[in-house]
């Protein structure tokens, strides 16, 4: 195996081999942006073909930049590797023992490829669960030739809106998620740069925008956020907060938004270009080259610089695109996590005008999206109990998407990808408990039991959930947490929903819009109280007669 591989890259390969040896199906490696997925792919190719030279491997991606990186790393690791590149975007249509191919160019060529033993998919989250699309067509054609075909995926974001985790669903391609390393570990070990967020003075308002397929409807979103006044405020504050930083990447909602933002930056004397789907390949390469050389300070984009774009020295990320997609949020954030060159700022500032951090939490603690319920299924007080399953070890009811039983720690399938939190920071790294170091007003309380109930707000008469946490001495009274899921500003509702998912360890729970009456909230409160275990502890701080619960957790 390649000697230059880092230990976690070797771990990814070994754990994947181990899984393949004892399971049918296909695993997906979860590796953060900047962790070197191309080197893992190169390690697989070199090792497999040295063991079995007769094997044929197909490496797939949807972005030509990723194809170039993958083929480059394979040849760097193994200069004599039999590599062919099949990509119209790269001007080559050659196949070999290892074929690195763009899915758009090769998806109809399954019969011409012949027998393929292994497919490696870079950015595997782009594969749909439905039995359609380019990836599915090619895989089906290749399996007709070789029914024993195996597939290995790689991605930093192992989930899709509406589907949930890539392993969920009857038609899922992948059967297991292998996570050899986390963002926290890579930052601590000096392999990734730190993201630093700051609250912006200006915030975009997304209240009332219609949602389509899990995200904001694009036309409504553009109409809301793309105006001369809003663009001027975003650009002005970006210039003020970015200071002497030299490489700014701005994420926009639409082509017209990206172009309008570009023009606004130029009005303020900032060299700026826009990259969109309308930008030609030659022009795109020219802009990225000038951006990397420092001739251009800022680049606005829409749907272009989220995957495949590799410029480590980006030191400012501007989120001018609100999104409900945790995957898109993670991909945008990941553009700033690569290690910087000497002489540059060694971290990356994230200016989030879109409210994405408040919406999704820290990128180190993202909660995967839930799997969408069938369109015609309405959650009622009668069927809300159908969300649960029995733990085979302790026979307690837990929510169906739970990966760890909170009662006995039984592991359902793969381990949870992330720990959960309610932070507003873009990147939360593990540290000593706050109660011991930073804030002596924080008190930790061991939790003996909890009780959930639903009630109404006094002013808006809107339903909300209240959680009472009890300690051993019941005479002391409970510590209370209020979850206003259906009332108040959007940022507060989003935080309440994240807290709800965190308390239930990330499992599937109804959306606030589905909990639209007191009967449904009462049914949910009753089900959680009777079937779900509370955290082992909570931490809170006291201000006069009021307390604020700040965090919670489960002991190992």
Domain boundaries of the chain, sorted by first residue: 7-186, 193-365, 430-553
Confidence of residue 159 (pLDDT cuts 50, 70, 90): confident
Rounded to an integer, what distance in angstroms lies between the CA atom of residue 484 and that of residue 466? 9
Candidates 60, 61, 96, 102; CA nearest to 81 is 96
Q: What is the pLDDT of residue 409?
A: 62
H-run or E-run covering 397: strand 397-399
Helices (H), 133-217: 134-145, 183-188
Confidence of residue 347 (pLDDT cuts 50, 70, 90): very high
Confidence of residue 55 (pLDDT cuts 50, 70, 90): very high
Q: What is the pLDDT of residue 299?
A: 97
Confidence of residue 377 (pLDDT cuts 50, 70, 90): low
What is the pLDDT of the chain when averaged over all its residues? 84
CA dihedral 487, 489, 495, 499 (to 10 degrees): -10
CA dihedral 294, 295, 301, 305 (to 10 degrees): -40
Of residues 465 and 546, the one with the higher pLDDT is 465
Rounded to an integer, what distance in angstroms lies between the CA atom of residue 33 and that of residue 146? 32
Q: Which of 115-129, 270-284, 372-386, 502-516 has the lowest mean pLDDT?
A: 372-386
Torsion sign (Cα): 416, 418, 419, 420: negative
Q: What is the pLDDT of residue 378?
A: 54
Q: Which of 76-85, 141-150, 295-304, 502-511 has the lowest mean pLDDT?
A: 502-511
Asked if residue 388 lies in contact with residue 401, where contact means CB atoms within 8 angstroms, the answer is no
Q: Which residues contact 327 (CB under 8 A, 6 or more apart)?
A: 125, 157, 159, 160, 161, 369
Above 90 in pLDDT, residue 162?
no
Above 60 in pLDDT, residue 540?
yes
Same fold, 7-186 and 193-365: yes
Task: Report, as an integer, the average pLDDT of 225-243.
Answer: 96
Task: Report, as an integer, the average pLDDT of 470-474.
Answer: 80
Q: What is the pLDDT of residue 508?
A: 63
Rounded to an integer, what distance in angstroms lies between the CA atom of residue 478 and that of residue 536? 15
Q: Which residues contact 208 (CB under 8 A, 6 or more apart)?
A: none
Q: Which two tokens stand for residue 303?
A: 């749907």
Q: Which residues contact 81 (CB under 8 A, 6 or more apart)?
A: 45, 46, 49, 74, 75, 98
Above 90 in pLDDT, residue 163?
no
Asked if residue 85 lies in contact with residue 100, where contact means CB atoms within 8 angstroms, the answer is yes
Q: Which of 103-112, 205-214, 276-285, 499-508 has the lowest mean pLDDT?
A: 499-508
C-alpha 147: how far from chain center: 32
Tokens 């909890």 belong to: 450
Task: Report, as an integer, the average pLDDT of 334-345.
Answer: 92
Q: Which of 270-284, 303-317, 405-419 has the lowest mean pLDDT?
A: 405-419
Q: What is the pLDDT of residue 416?
A: 36
Q: Which residues contact 554 (CB under 8 A, 6 or more apart)?
A: 406, 505, 535, 536
Within 10 angstroms of residue 467's Cβ, the number of other Cβ atoms is 24
DSSP class of residue 204 equals -
Asked if residue 424 lies in contact with residue 363, where contact means CB atoms within 8 angstroms, the answer is no
Q: What is the pLDDT of residue 422?
A: 35
Rounded to an integer, what distance in angstroms lies between the CA atom of residue 390 and that of residue 281? 54
Asked if residue 368 lies in contact with residue 326, where contact means CB atoms within 8 angstroms, the answer is yes
Q: What is the pLDDT of residue 496?
A: 87
Above 50 in pLDDT, residue 417?
no
Q: What is the pLDDT of residue 169?
A: 76
The percentage of the chain sitting over the pLDDT mark of 90, rounded to a whole number, equals 50
Task: Report, as an integer, the average pLDDT of 27-53.
Answer: 92
Task: Report, as an integer, the average pLDDT of 309-327.
Answer: 92
DSSP class of residue 341 equals P
Task: Report, as an integer, the average pLDDT of 64-88.
Answer: 88
Q: What is the pLDDT of residue 224?
A: 96
Above 80 in pLDDT, residue 392?
no
CA dihedral 313, 317, 323, 328 (to 10 degrees): 10
Task: Report, as an integer, the average pLDDT of 355-368.
Answer: 84
Rounded to an integer, what distance in angstroms lies between the CA atom of residue 103 and that of residue 302? 21
Q: What is the pLDDT of residue 109?
A: 92
Above 70 in pLDDT, residue 525?
yes
Within 10 angstroms of residue 189's Cβ, the number of other Cβ atoms is 12
Q: What is the pLDDT of residue 530?
A: 81
Task: Give exposure, 350-366, as e/b (b: 16+ Cβ within 10 Å).
Answer: bbbbbbbbbbbbbbbbb
Of residues 160 and 390, the one with the higher pLDDT is 160
The strands making up 298-301's β-sheet, listed across from edge to edge, are 194-198, 347-352, 316-319, 248-251, 298-301, 272-275
Confidence of residue 375 (pLDDT cuts 50, 70, 90): very low
Task: Give exposure, 168-183, as e/b (b: 16+ Cβ within 10 Å).
Answer: bbeebbbbbbbbbbbb
Characterise 129 by phi-psi region: left (phi > 0), alpha (psi -120 to 50), beta (else): alpha
In CATH terms, the fold of domain 7-186 is: Rossmann fold (3.40.50)
Q: What is the pLDDT of residue 533?
A: 82
Above 90 in pLDDT, residue 332?
yes
Above 80 in pLDDT, residue 425?
no
Above 90 in pLDDT, residue 8?
yes
Between the CA of residue 347 and those of 312, 335, 342, 344, 366, what are the distances in Å?
10, 12, 12, 9, 20
Above 50 in pLDDT, residue 432?
no
Of residues 382 and 127, the one with the higher pLDDT is 127
The CATH homologous superfamily of the domain defined by 193-365: P-loop containing nucleotide triphosphate hydrolases (3.40.50.300)
Task: Report, as an integer, the average pLDDT of 246-273.
Answer: 97
């Amino acid at each position: 195996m390649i000697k230059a591989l880092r230990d976690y890259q070797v771990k990814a390969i070994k754990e994947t081999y181990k899984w393949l040896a004892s399971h049918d199906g296909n695993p997906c490696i979860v590796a953060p942006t900047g962790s070197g997925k191309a080197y893992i792919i190169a390690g697989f190719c070199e090792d497999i073909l040295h063991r079995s030279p007769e094997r044929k491997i197909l490496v797939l991606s949807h972005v030509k930049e990723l194809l170039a990186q993958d083929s480059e790393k394979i040849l760097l690791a193994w200069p004599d590797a039999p590599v062919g590149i099949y990509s119209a975007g790269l001007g080559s249509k050659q196949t070999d023992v290892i074929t690195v191919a763009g899915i758009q160019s090769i998806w109809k060529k399954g019969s011409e490829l012949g027998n393929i033993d292994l497919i490696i998919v870079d950015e595997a989250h782009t594969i749909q669960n439905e039995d359609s699309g380019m990836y599915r067509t090619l895989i089906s054609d290749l399996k007709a030739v070789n029914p024993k075909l195996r597939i290995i995926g790689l991605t930093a974001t192992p989930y899709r809106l509406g589907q949930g985790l890539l392993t969920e669903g009857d038609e899922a391609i992948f059967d297991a998620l292998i996570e050899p390393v986390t963002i926290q570990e890579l930052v601590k070990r000096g392999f990734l740069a730190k993201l630093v967020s700051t609250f912006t003075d200006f915030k975009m308002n997304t209240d009332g925008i219609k949602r389509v397929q899990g995200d904001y409807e694009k036309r409504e979103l553009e109409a809301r956020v793309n105006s001369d006044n809003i663009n001027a405020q975003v650009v002005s504050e970006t210039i003020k907060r970015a200071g002497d930083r030299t490489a700014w990447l701005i994420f926009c909602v639409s082509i017209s938004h990206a172009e309008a933002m570009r023009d606004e930056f130029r009005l303020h004397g900032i060299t700026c270009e826009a990259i969109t789907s309308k930008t030609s390949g030659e022009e795109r390469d020219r802009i990225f080259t000038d951006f990397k050389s420092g001739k251009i300070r800022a680049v606005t984009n829409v749907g272009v610089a989220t995957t495949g774009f590799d410029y480590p020295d980006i030191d400012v990320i501007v989120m001018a695109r609100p999104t409900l997609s945790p995957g898109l949020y993670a991909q945008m954030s990941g553009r700033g996590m690569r290690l910087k060159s000497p002489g540059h700022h060694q971290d990356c500032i994230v200016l989030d005008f879109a409210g994405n951090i408040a919406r999704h939490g820290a990128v180190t603690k993202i909660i995967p999206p839930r799997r969408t319920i069938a369109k015609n299924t309405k959650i009622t007080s009668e069927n809300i109990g159908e969300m649960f399953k029995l733990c085979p070890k302790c026979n307690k009811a837990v929510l169906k998407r739970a990966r760890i039983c909170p009662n006995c720690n039984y592991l359902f399938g793969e381990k949870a990808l992330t720990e959960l939190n309610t932070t507003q920071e873009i990147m939360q790294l593990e540290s000593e408990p706050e109660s011991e170091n930073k804030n002596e007003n924080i008190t930790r309380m061991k939790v003996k039991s909890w009780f959930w109930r639903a009630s109404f707000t006094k002013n808006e008469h809107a339903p909300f959930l209240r959680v009472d946490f009890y300690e051993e001495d019941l005479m002391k009274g409970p510590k209370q947490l209020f979850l206003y899921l259906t009332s108040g500003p959007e940022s507060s509702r989003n935080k309440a929903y994240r807290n709800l998912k965190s308390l239930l360890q990330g499992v599937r729970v109804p959306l606030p819009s589905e909990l639209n009456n007191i009967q449904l909230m009462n049914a949910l409160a009753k089900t959680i109280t009777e079937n779900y275990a509370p955290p082992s502890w909570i931490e809170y701080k006291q201000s006069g007669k009021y307390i604020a619960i700040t965090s919670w957790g489960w002991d190992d």
